[in-house]
């Protein structure tokens, strides 16, 4: 994508705009860079997998259950999410992913994997918090460790209640490449007639209505 003053050039042709709003999620950094916005930031994707609860154990969980946040860890940790259909998911784990859409082991890996790997290595060397996460989080891939965290929240849980699920998610985490810090909040930048929503990590979905109202109020020219 290439950005001009009032048009963009995409693979599908040119598009004119009066005001450009970038809310491209996992691709928001690359879109922003086309406009000269968010230049010190890059996304590093983290993959998380979930497990699910068998019945009747699933019926024990009547709502979502979250742990008290550990302020040293930007990830929430294993929690229980009850869906509208009554399925209960446990997770996620969090390990660096090798692509913005690397949902499988290899599926979704692309040439950007090498760049991402390089950013991961830089972060591992330069940021103590990232190093802690990178060493701590993979332990949750061991069932015993995953289960221990889950049982802290639901004491009656038994290992046989838990089974694998195909649900996987990728958290596109923004990193400040100058300070080597993980960005811990939403970030919005305006350049000319373009507004860029960067780092729309959780709870961007839950707060989407008030977040959108705030963006419209503070960043959209009247």
Ligand X SMILES: Cc1cc2nc3c(=O)[nH]c(=O)nc-3n(C[C@H](O)[C@H](O)[C@H](O)COP(=O)(O)OP(=O)(O)OC[C@H]3O[C@@H](n4cnc5c(N)ncnc54)[C@H](O)[C@@H]3O)c2cc1C
123 part of the interface to ligand X, by CB under 6 A:
no
Rounded distance between C-alpha atoms, residue 197 and residue 28, angstroms? 7
Q: Which stretch binds ligand X (CB under 6 A): 54-62, 118-126, 148-156, 201-209?
A: 201-209
31 part of the interface to ligand X, by CB under 6 A:
yes
- Which residue from 56, 48, 52 is spatially nearest to 87, judged by alpha carbons? 52
Report whether 77 contacts 70 (CB < 8 A): yes
Residue in this structure with the two tokens 């229980």, named with its chain if needed: 80
202 part of the interface to ligand X, by CB under 6 A:
yes
* Nearer residue to ligand X within complex by CB, 47 or 119: 47
**How buried is 94 (Cβ within 10 angstroms: 0-12 exposed, 13-18 middle, 19+ buried)?**
buried
Q: Which stretch binds ligand X (CB under 6 A): 51-59, 114-122, 125-133, 196-204?
A: 196-204
Least distance from ligand X to the Cβ atom of residue 170, Å:
6
Rounded distance between C-alpha atoms, residue 94 and residue 104, angstroms? 14
9 part of the interface to ligand X, by CB under 6 A:
no
- Angle 212-217-220 (CA atoms, 0-180°, nearest 5)? 90
- 136: enclosing H helix or E strand: helix 128-136
90 part of the interface to ligand X, by CB under 6 A:
no
* Nearer residue to ligand X within complex by CB, 176 or 207: 207
* Nearer residue to ligand X within complex by CB, 92 or 96: 92
Q: Annotate each residue in 133-172 with x if it binds ligand X (CB under 6 A) or - if it does not, as one string.
A: ------------------------------------xxx-
Applying CB under 6 A, what is the total number of residues that bind ligand X?
19
Strands 20-22 and 194-198: parallel
Respond yes or no on whether the N-terminal peptide bond of residue 119 is cis (omega within 30° of 0).
no
- 144: enclosing H helix or E strand: helix 143-153
* Nearer residue to ligand X within complex by CB, 122 or 169: 169
36 part of the interface to ligand X, by CB under 6 A:
no
Residues that bind ligand X (CB under 6 A): 23-27, 31, 48, 92, 169-171, 197, 200-206
């Amino acid at each position: 994508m290439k950005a001009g003053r009032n048009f963009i050039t995409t693979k599908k042709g040119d598009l004119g705009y009066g005001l450009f709003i970038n809310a491209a999620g996992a691709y928001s950094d690359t879109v922003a860079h086309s406009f000269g916005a968010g230049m010190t930031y890059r996304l590093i994707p983290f993959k998380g997998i979930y497990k699910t609860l068998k019945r009747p154990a699933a019926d024990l969980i009547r709502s979502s259950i979250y742990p008290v946040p550990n302020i040293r860890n930007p990830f929430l940790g294993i929690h229980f999410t009850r869906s509208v259909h009554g399925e209960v998911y446990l997770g996620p784990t969090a390990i660096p992913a090798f692509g913005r859409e690397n949902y499988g082991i290899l599926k979704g890996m692309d040439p950007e994997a090498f760049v991402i790997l390089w950013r991961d290595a830089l972060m591992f060397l330069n940021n103590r918090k990232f190093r802690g996460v990178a060493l701590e989080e993979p332990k949750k891939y061991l069932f015993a460790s995953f289960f221990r965290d889950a049982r802290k929240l639901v004491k009656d849980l038994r290992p046989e209640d838990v089974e694998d699920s195909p649900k996987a998610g990728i958290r596109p985490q923004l990193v400040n490449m100058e300070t080597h810090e993980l960005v811990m909040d939403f970030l919005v930048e305006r350049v000319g007639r373009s507004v860029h929503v960067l780092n729309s990590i959780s709870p961007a979905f839950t707060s989407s209505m008030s977040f959108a109202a705030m963006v419209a109020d503070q960043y959209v020219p009247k």
